[in-house]
Amino acid sequence: MARTKKKKPYEIGELDQYLFGQGTHYDLYKKMGSHLVTDGKKKGTYFAVWAPNAKSVSVVGDFNNWDRDKNPMVREDPLGIYTCFIQGVEADMIYKYCIETKTGDLLYKADPFANYAEMRPGTASKVHDISNLKWSDSAWMEGRATWNMDESPISIYEAHIGSWRQHPGEEDERFYNYREFAVEAVKYMKEMGYTHIELIGIAEHPFDGSWGYQVTGYFAPTSRYGTPEDFAYMINYFHRNKIGVILDWVPAHFPRDAHGLADFDGTAVYEYADPRKGEHPDWGTKIFDYGKSEVKNFLISNALFWMEHFHVDGLRVDAVASMLYLDYGKQDGQWVANKYGGNQNLEAIEFFKHLNSVVLGRNPGALMIAEESTAWPKVTGKPEDDGLGFSLKWNMGWMHDFLEYMKLDPYFRKEHHNQMTFAMTYAYSEKYILVLSHDEVVHLKCSMLNKMPGLGFDKYANLKVGYAFMMGHPGKKLLFMGQDFAQLREWSEARELDWYLLEEPEHQYLQAFTRDLLKLYRKNKAMYEQDTEGYGFEWVNANDGYRSVFSFIRHSKHNKKNLLFVCNFTPMEWTDYRVGVPRRKQYKLILNSDDKQYGGKGEERPQIYKAVKQECDGRPYSFAYKLPPYGVAVFEF
């Protein structure tokens, strides 16, 4: 009987193949791809790629003059993983896999598990050792493990590194690298009061204009901004400064680029074979096959790779709805129903439950966030209760209603009052983040400032009262870069934000107001510790449509320190606006949009207001306050 050759520790073994086939090899990235190894006295690189329907596979690169006959790979059955060791292949050498299909065609593919890629427009992978990254964020990581998301403030700064700031210069010289961005972004975020940064466009992608939502290198931080070591430095730097890091993550689809995952070995390896399930007509992209164990394993190990190997604190999962619905973006005849005749993708549902159970189970305190644009039930529910298991969900309904209301001429807002109150009817059905993201300030949608009605003062005043309402409303918060200082132009990935606007007083005022809102949010437990509990929020008057004023209370636990918000959404001044309050106490004015530092008149007014026994808003006590045009007043009691 022939003796099986004993596998070396770095090689793909029988257990690896078994777990991969079961979809449970969660550390798969440590075996697949390219890894610098020592084999006895020989130094080189071990390569492993999954190409189950290939006729043959070889490694090609500068080191062998791209000759596919020089370094053929060996097929490891039963799954069709191809492997080889090549002596002398060193760090940062570029390579691809030359895949011979069953029809004899030759495909040159980048490595799906590569940790580094050459700078676009090049499409080759790079051998790179990421096994010895330097970390000094142990205090952060230990704290994360016991962190309670529900009772903590989360205010997210959504940013795109390539267009946040740029150096003067040509083409790719203009990008800040990961290290430069970390230092400058931390300085800005600490000044403003954000708790987390969400980075878009990190996984390697070929086209800048996709913003990173069409990924070709799922295990590689994009080389646009530096090396994997630079990327790790950035994460570490944010953590050392007590800022969490969230990455956008795209398991919904991938592009057709010739070097990418599409038709990887001449057949549908990563995507559904049936084009009615495997293609997005609107986006021109491929859809992952969530029913295939190896594909699910690829994606789950990728999520764990970012969280565990690079210490990322959360993933914002893009386009969840497109995964859940088989008919998403499709006409009749372009999709196929599930086995029960419905439009739910049962395999994607199971994938999400598996993904979130594993990622959050292995990484307590981490976040899995769903961008889900429909009313799918229990997105943040527990998998054992038939939920999808996400930590948080983007509140797209609130965002839509809020923006539609804010765009209106104030004269017509009284007829749309319920658009600002409706979200409270479902506020506790999920754990929500209120989002004003990059998607709302591109493609002719205007910047946040230019969505506002009126001219001059009115635009800035509208935005201030809108932001105040958002910060006071239950739910975690997200704001896209530039909108906190009233960026005038729409966002473009091709240029930096218009930082020069901060030389103008109006933009300084709005930035100062946003900063103080963020700091008010973080400082006061009433603003966040009961976000998911009905008794954390109370309308004082949700029905003052005639005057378009909203008043509400945020309650802290045990009512130790509560906040009363009054927001006026018209240019009318109410000289004696009376508001009902729960107790005959003193109410301290702690935020006033009319202050000069925010561009207001700076009119002198009392800091303390004493409630009197006078019925108002269905309450026995009340006090009156001079509410200026578009005025915001926050009282502590």
78 preceded by cis ω (within 30°)?
Answer: yes
Please tell me the distance from the alpha carbon of residue 568 to that of residue 82, in angstroms, as a whole number: 65
Encode pLDDT of 298-341 as tens digits. Answer: 999 999 999 999 999 999 999 999 999 999 999 999 999 999 99
Using CA atoms, how far residue 248 sits from 71, 160, 228, 443, 595, in Å, is 36, 10, 17, 20, 38
- Tens of pLDDT, residue by residue over 120-164, are 999 999 999 999 999 999 999 999 999 999 999 999 999 999 999
Give the C-alpha separation, 376 to 514, whole Å: 32
Contact 180, 167 (CB under 8 A): no
**Cα Rg of the chain (Å, integer):** 27
Q: Which two tokens stand for residue 632?
A: 């915001």
Question: What integer pLDDT is reported at residue 3 of this predicted model?
Answer: 54
CA 110 to chain centre: 26
pTM, full prediction: 0.96
For residues 34 and 95, the answer to whether their CB atoms sit within 8 Å is: yes
Q: How many angstroms separate the CA atoms of 574 and 625, rounded?
A: 8
Which of the residues in the chain have pLDDT under 70? 1-4, 172
- Note the pLDDT of residue 5: 72
Judge whether 318 counts as a catalytic residue: yes
The torsion angle over the Cα atoms of residues 126, 127, 130 and 132, rounded to 10 degrees, is -140
- Could you give all domains of the chain from N- to C-terminal order, each with its CATH number? 14-126 (2.60.40.10), 153-394 (3.20.20.80), 534-636 (2.60.40.1180)
Query: Which pLDDT score is estimated for 558?
Result: 84
Type of residue numbered 279: E
DSSP string for residues in 309-378: IS---EEEETTHHHHHBTTTT--TTS----TTS-SB-HHHHHHHHHHHHHHHHHSTT-EEEE---S--TT
594 classed as catalytic: no
DSSP 3-state of 512 = helix
For residue 86, the model assigns a pLDDT of 97
Asked if 376 and 321 touch (Cβ cutoff 8 Å), the reply is yes
> Alpha-carbon torsion 400, 401, 404, 405, what sign?
negative
Is the separation of the CB atoms in 262 and 254 below 8 Å? Answer: yes
- Determine what percent of the chain is predicted with pLDDT higher than 90: 96
Longest Cα–Cα distance of the chain, Å, equals 97
Q: Which of 158, 371, 401, 440 is catalytic?
A: 371
- Considering 11, 111, 313, 318, which one is annotated as catalytic? 318
